[in-house]
Structure 1
Amino acid sequence: MSAIDIAPDSPVFSDVRGKVVILTGGATGIGAATVRLLNEHGAIVSFLDVNRAVGEELAAELGDNVHFFHGSVTTWEDQLKVFEWTVERYGRVDIVLANAGIDEVVEDAFADNFDESGKLQAPTLIVLDVTLRGVIFTVKLALSYFRRLKIRGSIVATGSAASYLDTPGIPVYNGAKHGVIGLVRSLRDSLKEEGLIRANVVAPSFTATSFTKNLIHFWKREGLPINEPVEVARAILFLAVNPDYHGKSLYVAAGTYTELEGSILATQEQWLGKQNTAWVNLRKAKNLKMGKPEDNV
């Protein structure tokens, strides 16, 4: 694994000056810290969130280069309007940050709930819809606008430690965050072939936000690492502007940064086997040459 040094005053942050950024889930927590950091370094930011009051307050505080849009990432039209307005206003979008997500406290998908007749009800799967389906919408829009505008764009998706770990108690969130890393991995080679767009993941461990306020006392008691939102925001900004990073993932724990994907790829023969790795690489090469999805059956 590769440790990365991202200082609070990293010179790479200056590269965001004048860039047009779209971010989802920007009213609170990691998203709000990222909006603030982008604004501090001279970016133009449009952000979407369901929390109207807090979103409007943040945009008013930060000034004319920050624009708030009220809506949900689960609604295509809400996300589309952010891209349409931003491109109409500024003529471009350079960076897209798919950050919105919610955790399992809103619904226990595996708890039994019954209707009035005693029939078992289906879970809403709102955690999956926001945390993965919403990210897919955001990435779809980013790719479409980057390609049509012929922009060397950058996408950063907010994953989680749960993108890699078998975190107990949050199975749907865990599945969704595994999906986020799977999405970016699946785009890694094809986007590299295109040569215009980069996509990366930030994977923070426990972060002090409104989502974790009921658990933070336990983390502190046990001496476990806790991120401040701005520490995760630095990783997001670093990935967004650093041209050396594509198809990577930064794990963030107590303000330390570790790149995970390079080591996973480098050890593929160890965990998949030499012959299987050769077959996988051959299949990927053929599919990239054909320019169409593979048949995984």
Structure 2
Amino acid sequence: MNGRLPGRVAVITGGASGIGEGTVRRFHAEGAKVVIADVQEAAGRALARELGADTVFVRTDVTREDEVAAAVDTAVDRFGRLDVMFNNAGIMGALGPIDRTRLDDADVTVAVNLRGVLCGMKHAARVMKPRRSGVIVSTSSPAALIGGVGAHVYSAVKAGVIGLSNSVAAELRPYGIRVNTIVPGAVVSAMTAEILADGAGDIDGAERALSRSAFMDRPLRPADVAAGVLYLASDDAAFVTGVVLPVDAGMTGAGGTSPFASGRYGEPAAMLGPRAAAGS
């Protein structure tokens, strides 16, 4: 069988759209069997029908532990095992100034973006530990690492995903289970379309909006993030655990514009300070 995940079985939460859908498609193309776990029934069922018998949709609200457990159990019952758990489901959640934050909104944000990841890890570990193998990948955000690029509660829970992942990586390493975090930049998706364009369905609008601020020659797309998740899930990353992998065109690691290599400094120069004066 061809591909980098031949015969592997994955559960992907939030798998009906955006990064999740892109990863479902890439995993399927690489030989994996995939459980699409999402609350978006129409989109999830349509994707499963399109991809065929090696893909199944399970309606999954990640704030409900029983539904996350059912998605994992479906992987085992339908395909015989679970090799990869991708905790990807997420919402932007609570917005607005900190002094006017609605705590009910904050509670939902935490429930989806952090508690949902915890549930995914718990039930993945439940079936992976006896087999002493597996991979868990969870989606964080640049907002976890730098201020001013995400909503307050979203930033906090995405930072929590990194802390949780690294802690669980230390526990599960002796069982041969690797646990890592993916950090996508702003990606062309329904979520960014809702924020930056004319609603969740305006993907072209999101593409245009993100093109104006892209760090590279085009905006980030779900397939780009899926490639990073694929690496972490594959045997190529056999000794990679407890890491945070940014797929963000350098937003978190090289966010500046290199001011001393352009403009008036476009030609080689030097500022040598008092040493130059003393030698003259």
Alignment TM class, shorter chain as reference: 0.7 to 0.9
* 1:26 aligned counterpart, secondary structure: coil
Answer whether contact 2:188 2:222 (CA < 8 A) is retained: yes
Distance between the aligned counterparts of 1:109 and 1:65, measured in 2?
A: 45
Compute the displacement of 1:191 (Å).
Answer: 2.4
Structure 2 residue aligned with 1:28? 17
The structure-2 alpha-carbon separation of the partners of 1:69 and 1:40, relative to structure 1 and needing over 3 Å to count, comes to same
Q: Please list every run of 5 or more consecutive structure 2 residues that lacks an aligned counterpart in the other structure.
A: 197-205, 255-280
In the alignment, structure 1 residue 199 sits paired with structure 2 residue 189: no
Paired positions, count: 237
Task: Determine which of 16, 28, 31 is the counterpart of 1:39.
Answer: 28
Amino acid at match of 2:181: V
Cα distance, 1:236 vs. partner? 0.5
1:51-90 maps to which residues of 2 (within 5 A)? 51-90=40-79
Matches within 5 A, 1:49-128: 49-104=38-93, 108=96, 110=98, 112=100, 122-125=103-106, 126-128=108-110
Offset from partner CA, 1:216-253 (integer Å, 9 cap, x none): 45543344453111000000010011202111111112
C-alpha separation between the residues in 2 aligned to 1:257 and 1:160? Answer: 11
1:209 aligns with 2:189: yes
Distance in 2 separating the partners of 1:101 and 1:51: 13
Matches within 5 A, 1:235-274: 235-241=228-234, 242-254=237-249
* Cα gap change, 1:204 to 1:17, in 2 (>3 Å): same
- 2:212 aligned counterpart, secondary structure: helix
Does residue 229 (structure 1) correspond to residue 226 (structure 2)? The answer is no
Provide TM-score, normalisation by structure 2.
Answer: 0.78
Q: Distance in 2 between matches of 1:247 and 1:158?
A: 13
* Equivalent position SS for 1:83: helix
For residues 21 and 209 of structure 1, the distance between their equivalents in structure 2, rounded to whole angstroms, comes to 22
| Contact 1:109/1:124 (8 A) holds in 2 | no
Q: Mean Cα displacement is larger for which, 77-86 or 130-139?
A: 77-86
The change in CA–CA distance for 1:259 and 1:190 in structure 2 (over 3 A counts) is farther
Equivalent-residue separation in structure 1 for 2:72 and 2:253 (angstroms) = 30
For 1:138 and 1:30, the matched residues in 2 are separated by 17
Unpaired runs of 5+ in structure 1?
A: 1-12, 114-120, 261-297
Mapped partners of 1:93, 1:109: distance in 2: 42
2:111 to 129, 146, 151: 129
Alignment TM-score, normalising by the size of structure 1: 0.73
8 Å CA contact 2:143, 2:150 repeated in 1: no
Q: CA deviation at 1:188?
A: 2.8
User: 1:37-74: CA deviations, max 9, x gaps?
Assistant: 01111100012111111111111111000100112000
| SS in structure 2 at match of 1:54 | helix
How big is the alpha-carbon RMSD for the aligned residues of Structure 1 and Structure 2? 2.5
C-alpha contact 1:252 1:258 (8 A) present in aligned 2: no
Distance in 1, matches of 2:252 and 2:230, equals 15
Structure 2 CA distance for partners of 1:223 and 1:197, relative to 1, 3 Å = closer
Cα distance in 2 between the residues matched to 1:98 and 1:15: 20
Runs of 4+ off more than 4 Å: 106-113, 256-260
Q: Which residue of 2 aligns with 1:284?
A: none
Q: What is aligned with 2:265?
A: none
**Whole-Å separation in 1 of the counterparts to 2:29 and 2:72:** 22
C-alpha distance in structure 2 between counterparts of 1:257 and 1:153, whole Å: 30
Matching residue of 2:168: 187
CA distance in 2, matches of 1:160, 1:122: 22
For the 8 Å contact 2:181–2:244, the answer to whether it is kept is yes
Residue 138 (str. 1) matches residue 104 (str. 2): no
Query: Which digits, 9 at most, give the CA deviation of each residue in 1:91-123, with x for residues without a partner?
Result: 21111111111113x65484749xxxxxxx742
